[in-house]
Amino acid sequence: MERSEQPQRRPWLRHYPAEVPPELDYPDCGIPQLLRDAAAKHPDRPALYFLGKKTAYRRLLADVNRMAAALSSLGIAKGDRVAIMLPNCPQAVTAYFGALSIGAIVVQTNPLYMERELEYQLSDSGASAIVTLDLLYPRLSRVRGERPESGPLPELKHVIVTSLKDALPFPKNALYPLKQRKEGFRADIPYGRMGVYAYRRLLAGAAGEPPEVPLDPAADLALLQYTGGTTGRPKGVMLTHRNLVANTVQTAAWCYRTVGGSERFLAALPLFHVFGLTVLMNYSVLRAGLLILLPRFEPDAVIKTIRQKRPNIFPGAPTMYVALNHHQDARTADLSSIEVCISGSAPLPLDVQERFEKLTGGRLIEGYGLTEASPVTHANPIWGLRKIGTIGVPFPDTDAAVVDPATGEPVPAGEIGELVVKGPQVMQGYWQRPEETALALKGGWLHTGDLATMDADGYFTIIDRIKDVIIAGGFNVYPREVEEVLYEHPAVREAAVVGVKDAYRGETVKAFIVLRDGWQVSRPQLDRWCRERLAAYKVPHLYEFRDSLPTSMVGKVLRRKLLEEEES
């Protein structure tokens, strides 16, 4: 019997809050319809706030329609790929909804990508257009070459260039070019040549309504979201409109106490990451809320924004909450507007959770997701039974199980196995990679590559990535368990644990430590701390003190970067 045919027990349902149904109704529409509905019902309600400028839903929809018409005038049609390489700014929202409105497939692209990474993603996706920032154009230009039609990206025919000043209020928009020149930036952009267009001029010249493009939400792709490439080259995850709408509706159902239209979302997570895209951009539009955009995460700016703009929903990553916990103004600033924080992308240490909740009075819960699931599959109940250290329970309409990685058979409660998930948010597969799709999707179940346990109540705990498990002297060591013990030490601000080669044990445990400001601790002291709390084979044999740890754009500590440094 295929696992997809096996009856599924859902012990977690008895711990669902009464307000959260186990099954939901999903609108049969594409993502752009969420914006149209919000603008129709609340045209004058502010949709965006960016560095002093507000944009109402009526104006946002008009901008999106102009963007859709502009893309259509360039020959962009349904199924074409449109890359967006922008930080959090209004243009990122406009380009996203505009491209989707004409049936194009969005390829979110990290603005920090260097030439090699940029060339790979644009080539692999076959993007025919890109919307980017003037500050980033030189990098893109070097990839395209002097003759783009015969360069490495001949399919990339259209480059739409914007500037942060295009979204700023007066007088900031007038002063911004002066700031750029003072910092040494000189725009040398060949507008009108080589397929390069100025964003504002292109939208201003877009005439009429965009074409009406019929969408099949269940079949039509909305997004090619590239994975981080932790296991080889990045893969384009194919997410449909239905996938994204479903995960947005699931997230809204989980936050049932927030009032539609009154939510104020603090967008410090990047929108080009699928976590920020779903729990900020899509969710805020579904609820006709206000999206407060920050170009990047900076603790000073976040605390100032919370104090002044009073957001109540603040999704983030553990490193963000760590930084705010240790900020010099955290205890004196009024952060009490924060009601709900969903932490993702990495394990949330208990100490970090408790400190942040004490600072804000809000609820900070750990959830779990992956790009292949749009991304959220699990979360602790916000106002129900939370089990600290777990990722909580599956979202509505989501099945999950822990299986033996070798046989695919479910393991008993409490035993370690691979986490597999199934639900309306799960991807269609990997772009142009049928073999890898077949390995990840079996019988409708997504194999996550994460080791986990499920307890008798249906709460799941992530043990570690299968590929990150350290085998030291024949014993399995799970880095997350060791990191949790290190985080409990009062001198430790951040910790990461990896396995390094060892002639005797095969691998041994190494810990990278970032200390809190003003604190000192010796290796023998940390060793003693760990030996009192861990079996001897789990205790780090090596310690390295650093000023910082390498992280992704959403604050996930990149163990692979630490390993690469070790190997080099």
For residues 496 and 515, membership in a common domain is answered with yes
Is 441 in contact with 416 (CB distance < 8 Å)? no
Tokens 């199980």 correspond to what residue?
A: 401
For residues 202 and 241, membership in a common domain is answered with no
- Strand order from edge to edge, sheet including 542-545: 492-502, 506-515, 542-545
For residues 454 and 480, membership in a common domain is answered with no
For residues 397 and 252, membership in a common domain is answered with yes
Domain's final residue, options 465, 493, 509: 465
CATH number at residue 562: 3.30.300.30
pLDDT tens string, the chain, 568 residues long: the values are 243 434 357 999 999 999 999 999 999 999 999 999 999 999 999 999 999 999 999 999 999 999 999 999 999 999 999 999 999 999 999 999 999 999 999 999 999 888 988 999 999 999 999 999 999 999 999 999 999 999 999 999 999 999 999 998 888 888 877 788 778 787 789 999 999 999 999 999 997 788 889 999 999 999 999 986 444 678 999 999 999 999 999 999 999 998 888 899 999 999 999 999 999 999 999 999 999 999 999 999 999 999 999 999 999 988 899 999 999 999 899 999 999 999 987 778 888 999 999 999 999 999 999 999 999 999 999 999 999 889 999 999 999 999 999 899 999 999 999 999 999 999 999 999 999 999 999 999 999 999 999 999 999 999 888 888 898 887 888 898 899 899 999 999 999 999 998 888 889 999 999 999 999 999 999 999 999 999 888 999 999 999 999 988 777 888 889 988 888 7
- Beta strand 441-442 pairing with 129-133: unpaired
Across the strands, what pairs with 238? 224, 429
Residue 220 placed within a domain: no
For residues 243 and 359, membership in a common domain is answered with yes
Residue 381's nearest CA partner among 563, 253, 197, 192 is 253
Residue 225 placed within a domain: no
Quote the domain boundaries for residue 510: 471-567
CATH number at residue 39: 3.40.50.980
1 Cβ contact partners less than 8 Å away, ≥ 6 residues apart? none
DSSP string, 316-385: B-HHHHHHHHT-TTTTTS--TT--EEEE-SS---HHHHHHHHHHHSSEEEEEEE-GGGSSEEEE--SSS-
Cis peptide before 375 (omega within 30 of 0): yes
Percent of the chain at pLDDT > 70 equals 98
For residues 444 and 311, membership in a common domain is answered with yes
Residue 219 placed within a domain: no
Domain's final residue, options 465, 480, 501: 465
Tokens 């129709």 correspond to what residue?
A: 40
For residues 399 and 547, membership in a common domain is answered with no
Residue 224 placed within a domain: no
Domain's final residue, options 153, 179, 214: 214
For residues 275 and 414, membership in a common domain is answered with yes
For residues 397 and 494, membership in a common domain is answered with no
Residue 83 placed within a domain: yes
For residues 160 and 73, membership in a common domain is answered with yes
Q: How many domains does the chain have?
A: 3
For the segment 196-209, what is each residue's pLDDT rounded down to a tens digit? 999 999 999 997 78
Residue 558 placed within a domain: yes
Residue 101 placed within a domain: yes
Residue 222 placed within a domain: no
**Cα angle vertex 479, ends 475, 483, to 5°?**
130
CATH number at residue 277: 3.40.50.12780
For residues 235 and 330, membership in a common domain is answered with yes
- How far, in Å, CA of 21 to CA of 250, rounded? 10
The token pair at 208 is: 């009429």
For residues 512 and 554, membership in a common domain is answered with yes
